[in-house]
Amino acid sequence: MTETVEQFAARAARWLAENMPRIDPADPPYTVRAEQASWDRAKELQRTLHAGGFAGICFPREYGGLGLDFAYQRAFDAACRGYEMPLILNVPTFAICAATLLDMGTEEQKRDRIGAAIRGEEILCQLLSEPSGGSDLAGVITRAERTADGWLINGAKTWSTSAFAADYGLMLARTDPAVPKHQGLTMFLVPLAAPGITMRRITEVNGNEEFCEEFFDGLQVGDDAVVGAVNQGWEVASRQLFHERRAVGGGSEFSSGRGPENLQEAPTDYPALAEATGQGDDARVQDLAGRALVRRVVKEQLIEHVGSAIAAGTLPPTAGTLIRLFHAETTELEVDTALAIAGTAAVIAEAGDNADLLGLGIRYLSRQTGSLGGGSSEMARNVIGERILDFPREYAADRGVPFNQVKRGRA
């Protein structure tokens, strides 16, 4: 490939103008992630990108990508800001699951699943959290037992993002309860249409039903479903969490069209909001908006700095947690600021020009999503302290204890 970044960007701009639907970047079309139609539309757009030769820019060519470095992806991101893009495929399909398979999967898994995702044929999701697990991912009790034909899986998962639209899921299960909890886990690549899986939608406080819970009752998978090595699933899960924390913060090289639009919502236009509520000259409102806007700029600079440092080896891969934590805090600050400026117009539906501000109140109901994805913000601070700053690890009563001997529940 001898095409320079500038030549690639110019070619991309010409192709986008001829092939992709135009949008207003300041007012992008709202994508309802809980509706199947949104995912069908995203797959259609992804197929168009693939046909045009602009899909999977940073994925290796042997798995369906272009094999280019991040500079080309950044150039394409800049070129596509005025066009409709399949942004909901970024997380978790590409930036988390496909990236994890690229690091840890078999050649067949990488060729088949990554290739199908890049072509717009399949969607991938994560099956990690459990009803009784909380933030203790290594404490999963979903079990996979060896059979003559492969593995028999029983258990449950919950808070699985967009699982209803997915074709395959990366699922962590316990394969050896007689060793400490981190040592007896295995990651599986599970086809979600297989017999033995019951899926239900979860209704959130804001009415959204994007998250799902899954029940596994006698699910049969073969040895080809194992990702990584048997009983080495924590290594895969750790790499998966690395990708998730970078993706949640917006720092993944495998996200196409990355930026504020990844949230499927345009960033709040604080000057316009202040004018709409008659507070354009209010010094307090200007101060609130200024703080949020500065934080937004710093976040983008942090993404660039941490990403470059990880690539150069001056920061460990776990430093992606810095992006994830700062993203969560910035998102909460931005939502809180918008609500503070809008006031009652964001929580009471009124006729007139300000009726659309009710969306700010609805968005507030899910403001803490960023502080939970990829593990809670409290867990993120532990990772930063222990794995980046080299602080002593917190005490854990179950450390080194065989999982089947760990006391649970009430004595």
Torsion angles phi and psi, residue 374, rounded to 5:
75, 25
pLDDT at residue 61 tops 90: yes
User: For residue 127, how many C-alpha atoms fall within 13 Å in the half-sphere facing its CB?
Assistant: 30
What is the full DSSP assignment across 152-200?
EEEEEEEEEETGGG-SEEEEEEES-TTSBTTTSEEEEEEETTSTTEEEE
Whether 225 and 176 have beta carbons less than 8 Å apart is answered as no
Residue 347 CB coordination number (10 Å): 14
Query: Domain extents for the chain?
Result: 12-90+102-122, 126-231, 267-388
pLDDT at residue 26 tops 90: no
Of the pLDDT bands very low, low, confident and very high (cuts 50, 70, 90), residue 259 is very low
pLDDT at residue 156 tops 80: yes
Q: Of the ranges 81-90, 117-126, 269-278, 310-319, which is most confident? A: 117-126
Of the pLDDT bands very low, low, confident and very high (cuts 50, 70, 90), residue 197 is very high
Distance CA 348, CA 331 (A): 22
Question: Is the CATH code 2.40.110.10 the one for domain 126-231?
Answer: yes
What confidence score (pLDDT) does residue 239 get? Answer: 92
Least confident of 115-124, 229-238, 319-328: 319-328
pLDDT at residue 313 tops 60: yes
Average pLDDT over residues 170-197: 97
Paired residues of 168 in beta bridges: 124, 191
Of the pLDDT bands very low, low, confident and very high (cuts 50, 70, 90), residue 86 is very high
Torsion angles phi and psi, residue 45, rounded to 5:
-65, -40
What confidence score (pLDDT) does residue 263 get? Answer: 42
* pTM, rounded to two decimals: 0.86
Distance CA 316, CA 307 (A): 10
Give the percent of the chain with pLDDT over 70: 94
CA angle 353, 354, 360 (to 5 degrees): 150
Q: At the fourth CATH level, which superfamily is domain 267-388? A: Butyryl-CoA Dehydrogenase, subunit A, domain 3 (1.20.140.10)
What confidence score (pLDDT) does residue 264 get? Answer: 44
Matching residue, tokens 């909901």:
88
Residue in 277, 117, 127 with CA at minimum distance from that of residue 199: 127
pLDDT at residue 142 tops 90: yes
pLDDT at residue 409 tops 90: no
pLDDT at residue 351 tops 60: no
What is the full DSSP assignment across 342-394?
HGGGGTS--SSTTGGGHHHHHHHTTGGGGGTTTS-HHHHHHHIIIIIS-PPPP
Pull the structure tokens for residue 140: 């999963």
Task: Report the mean per-residue pLDDT for the chain.
Answer: 90
Cβ burial of 161 (10 Å; 0-12, 13-18, 19+) is buried
Distance CA 297, CA 390 (A): 29
pLDDT at residue 194 tops 90: yes
Write down the architecture of domain 12-90+102-122 according to CATH: Orthogonal Bundle (1.10)
Average pLDDT over residues 31-57: 96
Of the pLDDT bands very low, low, confident and very high (cuts 50, 70, 90), residue 312 is confident
Q: Of the ranges 20-29, 103-112, 202-211, 235-244, which is most confident? A: 103-112
What confidence score (pLDDT) does residue 25 get? Answer: 80
